[in-house]
Amino acid sequence: MRPHYAPETTELDLSWWAETSDLSPLRELTGLQSLDLARTQVTDLSPLRELTGLQSLDLRGTQVSDLSPLRELTGLLSLDLGYTRVSDLSPLRELTGLLSLDLGYTQVSDLSPLRELTGLHSLDLGYTQVSDLSPLR
């Protein structure tokens, strides 16, 4: 049985709900501003592509590796990717409004895609493969 979400929903917390893997029912929630998918079975973020009003997204502890569906989510202010399979940050290049980014315990090594994210106030790089911080200047 799939849960039903009201179209006017602005916040949704599905964290720790192990059955969560298919995000396609969320496509219609275009007013969504905050989405917590921490520690779910999510791998495919493509259904989130149209959620351009999203400001906060928590993907901590998921199996996500491809961030390309987030490329158009330019309203994102907070993104938690800790403990994911993410290594390529290039899809985040245009998210210049991002204020908080957690990359802890990921396979990230290249920070150059973050060069234009000059508004970042919080960046967690704990236990990553990053050795060159010069893109953050």
> In sequence order, what are the beta bridge partners of 35?
12, 57
Please, which residues have CB within 8 angstroms of residue 115's CB and are 6 or more apart in sequence?
135, 136
| 42: its two tokens | 């999510």
Using the predicted structure, report yes or no on whether residue 1 has a pLDDT greater than 60.
Answer: no
Strand 56-58 with 34-36, pairing: parallel
Q: Is the pTM of this model over 0.85?
A: yes
12-60 pLDDT tens trace: 999 998 889 999 999 999 999 999 999 999 999 999 999 999 999 999 9
107-133 pLDDT tens trace: 999 999 999 999 999 999 999 999 999
